[in-house]
């Protein structure tokens, strides 16, 4: 039965089946002949708009000559109970090839990211990504996946509206210094500060300032990403741990107060760009010699306009 809204789990399953088809040498015409389906049935299945049964899925994977890991992964999705909350494991700090992510980033109208302690995956430079993923045995492939994920969003037509609220704690020396190379940190800061306001992604810095209500950071103690879609698809949010990502569908009533707060206290795009460039300059500034008195910076902090 066709369901235009579908569900996050159905869209994830459809994405896995599409991956299996594209990885094979089987044409759509050949697959439809084997399955006895119309083109529309396959189209809707791969986009999560219709369900299926384990027998048809097994036949489809067999026709695509899929490997055992693909069979196991898809079988697990079929056996999973329907729920608004699902958890997906992945290598440490590397969720980029999750089918759940790809299926929804490809159709999202808006993507809003709030990050407290690190640069979000979608705005990392290649050098930054290489540094944070260096612990993985397949680090080079993981970096390529992250860069391809970013490019896929940039190439989308129509492009989604991407807004990144980045807490200043993610830009401190304690966070960036862990990279072990100031050149990487310097390049990342400049990459977050495009020279023109027509960049498709909006970066806004969230300062830890007295104007924020005292309850603000208890309301938002963790990082999250919120995706919205054309109706009737429900919102999808996710939060990452180092080795797993938690996805929640249909919690559109939870985040408006947080989005309103962020919009009120975050620096404008122009002020954010100015602040990021100042931080990049400070990162490359020479350390004062022992016994010398450091001269305070005379550069004023950027004002925070009322509107972004």
CATH classification code of 86-284: 3.30.870
The answer to whether the bond into 123 is cis (omega within 30° of 0) is no
Residues 10-26: what's their mean pLDDT? 97
Torsion of CA 280, 179, 136, 20, to 10 degrees: -10
Tens of pLDDT, residue by residue over 28-44, are 999 999 999 999 999 99
Give the CATH H-level superfamily of domain 8-79: lambda repressor-like DNA-binding domains (1.10.260.40)
Q: What digits encode the pLDDT tens for the residues 249-301?
A: 998 888 898 899 899 999 999 999 999 999 999 887 555 555 544 444 444 44
Rounded to an integer, the average pLDDT of 147-157 is 96
8 A C-beta contact, residue 93 and residue 157: no
Q: Which residues contact 3 (CB under 8 A, 6 or more apart)?
A: 10, 49, 50, 51
What residue spans define the domains of the chain?
8-79, 86-284
Average of pLDDT values for 115-137?
Answer: 94
The pLDDT, as a whole number, for residue 284 is 72
High-pLDDT (> 90) share of the chain, %: 69
């Amino acid at each position: 039965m066709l369901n235009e809204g579908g569900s996050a789990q159905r869209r994830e399953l459809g994405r896995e089946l599409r991956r299996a088809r594209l990885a094979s040498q089987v044409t759509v015409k050949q697959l439809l002949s084997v399955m006895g389906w119309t083109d529309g049935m396959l189209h809707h299945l791969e986009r999560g708009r219709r369900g299926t049964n384990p027998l048809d899925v097994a036949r489809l994977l067999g026709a695509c000559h899929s490997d055992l890991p693909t069979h196991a992964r898809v079988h697990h999705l079929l056996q999973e109970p329907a729920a608004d909350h699902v958890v997906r494991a992945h290598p440490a700090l590397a969720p980029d090839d999750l089918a759940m992510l790809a299926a929804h980033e490809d159709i999202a109208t808006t993507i809003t990211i709030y990050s407290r302690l690190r640069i979000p995956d979608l705005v990392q430079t290649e050098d930054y990504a290489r540094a944070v993923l260096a612990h993985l045995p397949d680090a080079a492939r993981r970096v390529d996946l992250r860069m391809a994920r970013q490019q896929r969003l940039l190439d989308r037509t129509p492009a989604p509206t991407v807004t990144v609220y980045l807490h200043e704690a993610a830009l401190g020396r304690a966070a960036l210094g862990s990279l072990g190379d100031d050149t990487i940190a310097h390049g990342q800061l400049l990459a977050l500060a495009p020279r023109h306001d027509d960049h498709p992604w909006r970066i806004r810095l969230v300062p830890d300032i007295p104007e924020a209500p005292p309850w603000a950071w208890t309301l938002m103690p963790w990082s999250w990403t919120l995706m919205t879609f054309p109706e009737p698809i429900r919102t999808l949010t996710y939060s990452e741990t180092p080795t797993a990502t938690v996805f929640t569908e249909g919690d559109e009533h939870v985040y408006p107060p947080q989005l309103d707060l962020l919009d009120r206290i975050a620096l404008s795009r122009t002020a954010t760009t100015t602040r990021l460039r100042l931080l990049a300059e400070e990162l490359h500034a020479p350390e004062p010699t022992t016994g010398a008195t450091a001269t305070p910076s005379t550069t004023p902090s950027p004002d925070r306009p009322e509107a972004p």
